[in-house]
Amino acid sequence: MDRARLRQHTVEVLTVLAVAACYYATARLGLLQQLVRGQVTPLWPPTGIAVAALLVFGVRIWSGIALGALGVNITIGPALLPVLIIAAGNTAAPVCSYLLLRRAGFRDELDRLRDALALVFLGALAGMLISATVGTGALVVSGALPAEEFWRTWSVWWTGDAMGVMVVTPFLLVVRNARLPYRISPARWAEAVALGVCTLGVTLLATDTSASLLFLVSPFLIWAAFRFERAGAASCALAVSTLAILAAGRMTGPFAHGLLTNMITLQAFNGTTALTALLLAAVVTERNRTYREIKRLCTQLSEKVTRQDL
């Protein structure tokens, strides 16, 4: 019993450390595209990591999120007290998102429309209000940020955290539930490769030209959702959003404007991309599951009728 308990505690500690390490590593990547005061970005992947980790392992790994948030904010924060407050907000936000999602009956498989809606509106938009408000308020109170910059910083912080949940969390949940694709035909593999190449190519074109071509990405998101359901939609949404953020950081194509205009264009595009991919994939998955269930019941009914005739 002692060995089993020790093994369980060891696994829990390693899980907490792994979550902290992933949070810190993705935070450093996110900071490469910072827009405000070296620490506010248009996409904050750690929030997606945190919400996904809570959904998979439960609320007991909150300490890993806190440790990762504290580690990254110490390196960029203005002083110890604001750093502690910001880290607390960064921890409370995903925990709140997790509690809201579980309260709404969220399923990690993301195979229902209600799950996609809950992730967007409860997990992303509602839960991340906490981190944005606490973090921006701490910067203003500490004097690291002028009071007149509060709302601009708050909006970037909130949308960046929300985008992390909308883009990263679905991808991680899909990867966790993925199985090795046995018995996949060569034609199916070819279609998947074609989808990936076309999506990347069109996104690079749309984000590198001054013409308004961002809408060209939509057909490929629809293609991904209809043909590859959650896996295709989540992967394409993550790739498209990442390329758009990189283009905004370079201020090229449709993002060759001022900071405010770029942020509005970028977050409107990323939000539309994530929302379209999530909702459409959920609808298609739910429809396909219903079709398979009806087909199964019809087969059972047919077999019963055949046996009765005999």
Query: Where are the domains positioned within the chain?
Result: 1-178, 181-310
Answer whether residue 1 shows pLDDT above 60.
Answer: no
- Per the document, the length of the chain is 310
Task: Determine the average pLDDT of the residues in 210-235.
Answer: 87
For the segment 65-75, the average pLDDT, to the nearest whole number, is 91
CA 179 to chain centre: 20
Q: How far apart are CA 94 and CA 161, in angstroms?
A: 10
**Predicted confidence band of residue 46 (pLDDT cuts 50, 70, 90):** very high
**Is the pLDDT reported for residue 34 higher than 70?**
no
**Residue 184 has which token pair?**
């996949």
**Looking at residue 153, what is its pLDDT?**
85
254 or 20, which is more confident: 20
Looking at domain 1-178, its CATH class is: mainly alpha
Distance (Å, whole) CA 202 – CA 286: 29
Sign, Cα dihedral of 119, 123, 129, 134: negative
> What is the per-residue pLDDT for 85?
92
pLDDT tens string 84-124: 999 999 999 999 999 999 999 999 888 888 999 999 999 99
Most confident among 15-19, 32-36, 150-154, 256-260 (mean pLDDT)? 15-19
**Confidence (pLDDT) at 119:** 93
Residue with structure tokens 């970028």? 266
Largest CA distance in the chain: 85
Secondary structure (3-state) at 36 = strand
Closest C-alpha to 231, from 185, 177, 194, 193: 177
195, 154 contact by CB (below 8 A):
no
Note the pLDDT of residue 133: 94
Numbers of helices and strands, H then E, in the chain:
10, 0
Say how many Å lie between the first and final Cα of the chain, rounded.
Answer: 58
Residue 69 is predicted with a pLDDT of 92
Distance CA 307, CA 296 (A): 17
How high is the pLDDT of residue 180? 65
What value does the mean pLDDT take over residues 42-70? 92
- Quick check: 270 and 163 in contact, CB under 8 A? yes
What pLDDT is attached to residue 49?
94
Tell whether the model's pLDDT for residue 40 goes beyond 70. Answer: no
Confidence class for position 17, pLDDT limits 50, 70, 90: very high
Neighbour count for residue 265 (Cβ, 10 Å) = 18
Using a 10 angstrom Cβ sphere, with 0-12 exposed, 13-18 middle and 19 or more buried, the burial of residue 2 is exposed
